[in-house]
Amino acid sequence: MTTVSCPTCQARVIWNEQSPWRPFCSERCKLIDLGEWASEGHRIPGPPALDGLEENPESESNH
């Protein structure tokens, strides 16, 4: 039987189809992690993906 640690609380989780929130131990831990990504608490290293897209679209249509 394969087990993994919950990324949020480190509880042991059995990795199989009977664990609906895997790799998380619960829906609560899954939502905590989602909130961290949404608030940019978790990030993937690298340059910002939106460079240059923050220009005013109206200024481009006047060219």
Q: Can you give the CATH number for the domain in which 31 is found? A: 3.30.50.10
**pLDDT surpasses 60 at 26:** yes
In a domain, 59, yes or no: no
**pLDDT surpasses 80 at 50:** no
In a domain, 20, yes or no: yes
- Asked if 9 and 24 touch (Cβ cutoff 8 Å), the reply is no
In a domain, 55, yes or no: no
Range of the domain at 12: 1-41
Pairing of strands 3-5, 12-14: antiparallel
Alpha carbon distance 24, 35 (integer Å): 14
- Residue 55 pLDDT: 58
Average pLDDT over residues 54-62: 57
What is the SS3 assignment for 19? Answer: coil
In a domain, 47, yes or no: no
Q: Confidence band (pLDDT; 50, 70, 90) for 5? A: very high
Q: Confidence band (pLDDT; 50, 70, 90) for 58? A: low
